[in-house]
A = this chain, B = another copy of it.
Amino acid sequence: MRSQPEWQWLKVSWTCSSERDNDTCQGNDQVDLHTQLWHECAGLTVKVPRVGDKVFYFPQGHLQQVEVYMKQEGMSDIPSYGLPSKILCKVVCVQLKAEVDTDEVFAQITLIPDFEEPKGSTFRSVPQKIPATSFRKKLTPSDVIKQGGCNLHKKHVDQTFPPLDMSQDAPSQELFAKDLHGKIWNFHHICRGVPKRHILTTGWGKFVSAKRLVVGDTCIFLRGQNRLYVGVQRAVRLNKLSTDLSCVNMQHGILLTALEAINTRTEFTVYYHPRISPSGFIVAYNDFMESLKVNFSPETRVEMVLDEGGEEPEFNLKKFSGIIIGKEDVDPSRWPESEWHCLKVCWHGTASGDVPPKRVSPWSIQSVVSVPQPQKRSMIGEGIRMKEVSIPKVNNIPREDDERSKKCRVFGVDIGGHRISNTHPPDSSNAGNQQSSYIKVLKHGSFVGRCVEVSRFSGYGGLMWELDRMFGFQGGLVSGTSGWIVTYNNNNAAAADGDGDANKKLLGDVSWSEFRGVVRKMCICPKEKEEAATWNKISG
């Protein structure tokens, strides 16, 4: 039997307090819940610039998206109109939306050509995220057949849904969840049966049929302080025959729109469909510049991370490794020497499932300095579910030379096996600046991190803990002189080490509830032992 008072409370609390929950875009300083939901649906590797960012717009990538969108193969034979392969722009407006009929996410991005190179630091503070928790449910056959509801995982419900009064026989509540269109969906959430399990009953069937969900699709629940959100991520794209206008018409239009925008220095708007073309054609200035510094000569071993969807956010990411086999123009006649998809990669062991594209852009991959040996997988760091990990106790911290610290993989990235030096930098040429130090990059890889509660990770110790835990050291580096260099979110460079406040300025005033980017394992070591590794200077 449903408890009427609780239902009343929830209805009031969860649907009528939109003024307390920020679910619409309000400026550039907050990651609102709509945006968080959109990114969950888009995939964890998708990057969307923020208003004010300097970006490169690659028309070739845009044309390619249209071809996939229209299901036309091969490059059309249209002129380049003298358009350069990349156009430096400033982001004027970003709207994160979803298709009305298919719920496919897309970003409407307004750009204005601005060829002025950014001066000085391009660092931008990471926007404050509105505290939220979320979980993903990959739908089983039972979830989508007409006869049943949706089975939920206990831990997901406990972490994300409002608590039920478990003293009751079959506690239940009404949930009201907003989708990306702003539509409110009503679900009856009940904990019943022997043994007890959490089920979404009334309302679930309507949702499944309305969204045309099938087995394998993923349903995403995101809970803010006062409101619940729901999104979907399909395993296979719904057919959407767009017969409005011809593919060639659109491609002409895309190029000409950009050309006119350049000539008149006016805004133009593009639509980015991350589920169609994961390799975005709008690339952050910093990302692009960083990728230029890397030497992607043939034989270079590279890695690329794809988001393969599924249930656990951390395990959506699958890393592929391969070897550069060449660098050549995709379209030498129209866009010679374009960086877009200029690298040819031979990927290893990608017999089944998603495969990275044979052609990639430099900013989409990372070069691997040392070729890792095939290692036996260690349980440490392998398969850690962040939300299950509690804050490590002090007596749990492994020594640096602990066997566990030497062999570990996180998200498919080999991390351990390198000795961490405790040596302080011997050569402080700019000794006057106490916040300066040299670090040596030993290891690097892409990552996406996330915490259950923001408060738990406030401050830089929290960040360090999070990073350490992600890479399997469980706090071993929280105090010490080694640390990590981090390139996060929109490619703002930052560093975190065990010295607490040393890099505080670099990090800015951020809440590390979620961050994604590239982490490089570093340790402070004698400069003369430079070897083939990369040296970076971190200054406060």
Asked if residues B244 and A271 are in contact (CB atoms below 8 Å), the reply is yes
Q: Which chain B residues lie closer than 8 Å to A260 at the CB level? A: 78-79, 252
How far is A78 from B244 in the complex, measured between Cα atoms in Å?
Answer: 20
Most buried by B among A66, A100, A246: A246
Q: CB of A254 within 8 A of chain B?
A: yes
**A60-81, CB under 8 A of B: which get 1 and which 0?**
0000001001000000001100
Q: Which chain B residues lie closer than 8 Å to A249 at the CB level? A: 250, 253-254, 257, 269
In the complex, the chain B residue whose C-beta lies closest to that of A241 is B100
Q: CB of A151 within 8 A of chain B?
A: no
Q: Which chain B residues lie closer than 8 Å to A97 at the CB level? A: 243
Q: Quick one: which of A86-127 are within 8 Å of B by CB?
A: 97, 99-101, 106, 108
Asked if residues A245 and B252 are in contact (CB atoms below 8 Å), the reply is no
Q: Which chain B residues lie closer than 8 Å to A257 at the CB level? A: 246, 248-249, 252
Asked if residues B256 and A99 are in contact (CB atoms below 8 Å), the reply is no
How far is A69 from B249 in the complex, measured between Cα atoms in Å?
Answer: 15
Q: CB of A352 within 8 A of chain B?
A: no
Q: How many residues of A contact B (CB 8 A)?
A: 32
Asked if residues A271 and B256 are in contact (CB atoms below 8 Å), the reply is no
| Nearest CB in chain B: distance from A275 CB, A | 13
Asked if residues A242 and B243 are in contact (CB atoms below 8 Å), the reply is no
How far is A242 from B239 in the complex, measured between Cα atoms in Å?
Answer: 14
Q: CB of A85 within 8 A of chain B?
A: no
Q: CB of A251 within 8 A of chain B?
A: yes
How far is A476 from B108 in the complex, measured between Cα atoms in Å?
Answer: 66
Asked if residues B250 and A99 are in contact (CB atoms below 8 Å), the reply is no
Most buried by B among A78, A97, A101, A249: A249
Asked if residues B246 and A244 are in contact (CB atoms below 8 Å), the reply is no
Number of copies of chain A assembled together: 2
Q: Which chain B residues lie closer than 8 Å to A78 at the CB level? A: 260
In the complex, the chain B residue whose C-beta lies closest to that of A244 is B242
Asked if residues B253 and A251 are in contact (CB atoms below 8 Å), the reply is yes
How far is A205 from B224 in the complex, measured between Cα atoms in Å?
Answer: 41
| Nearest CB in chain B: distance from A285 CB, A | 24
**A247-275, CB under 8 A of B: which get 1 and which 0?**
01111111111001000000011110000
If A252-B252, A256-B253 touch, whether A99 touches B243 (CB-CB below 8 Å) is yes
| Nearest CB in chain B: distance from A461 CB, A | 44
Q: Which chain B residues lie closer than 8 Å to A101 at the CB level? A: 101
| Nearest CB in chain B: distance from A87 CB, A | 15
B99, B241, B271: the one contacting A245 at CB < 8 Å is B271
Asked if residues A271 and B252 are in contact (CB atoms below 8 Å), the reply is no
**A152-163, CB under 8 A of B: which get 1 and which 0?**
000000000000
In the complex, the chain B residue whose C-beta lies closest to that of A66 is B245
How far is A243 from B240 in the complex, measured between Cα atoms in Å?
Answer: 12
Q: Which chain B residues lie closer than 8 Å to A242 at the CB level? A: 242, 244
Asked if residues B243 and A271 are in contact (CB atoms below 8 Å), the reply is yes
| Nearest CB in chain B: distance from A59 CB, A | 12
| Nearest CB in chain B: distance from A213 CB, A | 18
How far is A252 from B263 in the complex, measured between Cα atoms in Å?
Answer: 15
Q: Which chain B residues lie closer than 8 Å to A245 at the CB level? A: 66, 245, 250, 253-254, 271
How far is A253 from B66 in the complex, measured between Cα atoms in Å?
Answer: 13
How far is A252 from B259 in the complex, measured between Cα atoms in Å?
Answer: 11
| Nearest CB in chain B: distance from A104 CB, A | 10
| Nearest CB in chain B: distance from A180 CB, A | 13
How far is A108 from B243 in the complex, measured between Cα atoms in Å?
Answer: 9
Of the A-B pairs whose beta carbons lie under 8 Å apart in the complex, a sample of 18, sorted by A's number, is A97-B243, A100-B239, A100-B243, A108-B243, A242-B242, A245-B245, A246-B269, A246-B271, A248-B257, A248-B269, A249-B253, A250-B253, A251-B253, A252-B252, A252-B253, A252-B254, A253-B254, A255-B256
Q: Give 5 closest A-B pairs by Cβ, nearest first.
A: A253-B253, A252-B256, A249-B253, A252-B253, A246-B269
A-to-B contact residues, CB < 8 Å: 66, 69, 78-79, 97, 99-101, 106, 108, 239, 241-246, 248-257, 260, 268-271
Known: A106-B243, A253-B254. 19 other contacts (CB 8 A): A79-B260, A99-B243, A100-B239, A108-B243, A242-B244, A244-B271, A245-B250, A245-B253, A245-B254, A246-B270, A249-B250, A249-B253, A250-B253, A252-B252, A252-B253, A252-B257, A252-B260, A253-B253, A256-B256
